[in-house]
Amino acid sequence: MNFTKEQILAYCNEFSKNTLMETLKIEYIDAGEGFLVAKMPVNSGVHQPMGLLHGGASVALAESVGSAASQFFINPKEQEVRGIEISANHLKSIREGIVFGTARIIHKGKSIHLWEIKITDEAGNLISLCKLTNMVLEKKKTE
């Protein structure tokens, strides 16, 4: 990794402005070799009708942190990342507090990145287990 932890977190939090990540109050809080962590508050803004964390909000957290993590394995001047598949197993419910999404690289190829994202609560309980596949694309040349 050619970036400091502080540079990674600053970059991720800056590019999240005016996006779904800002709407969901996702904040990137830790990074290291092959992993990235973000947190998201659990409140009525991310609840489903029964007052629990919505599975879609969990998946949005997972895709956000996994896609952001792929940015640090590409050349952003020539390449870009697209999430092409995500799966999630929701294992435990939560009504309030904070959840943490930790993305860890499973496969780092030239054109495909595979991430495992564990979403946990403040006590470390596993809330959701997700798998994200990102495709690395060459940017189109503009004339």
Three-class SS string for the chain? CCCCHHHHHHHHHHHCCCCHHHHCCCEEEEEECCEEEEEEEECHHHECCCCCECHHHHHHHHHHHHHHHHHHHCCCCCEEEEEEEEEEEECCCCCCEEEEEEEEEEEECCCEEEEEEEEECCCCCEEEEEEEEEEEEECCCCC
Q: What angle do CA 69, 72, 73 make, to 5 degrees?
A: 105
Q: Which of 14, 27, 33, 63 is catalytic?
A: 63
Active site includes 33? no
Terminal Cα-to-Cα distance of the chain (whole angstroms): 32
Q: Active-site residue numbers?
A: 63
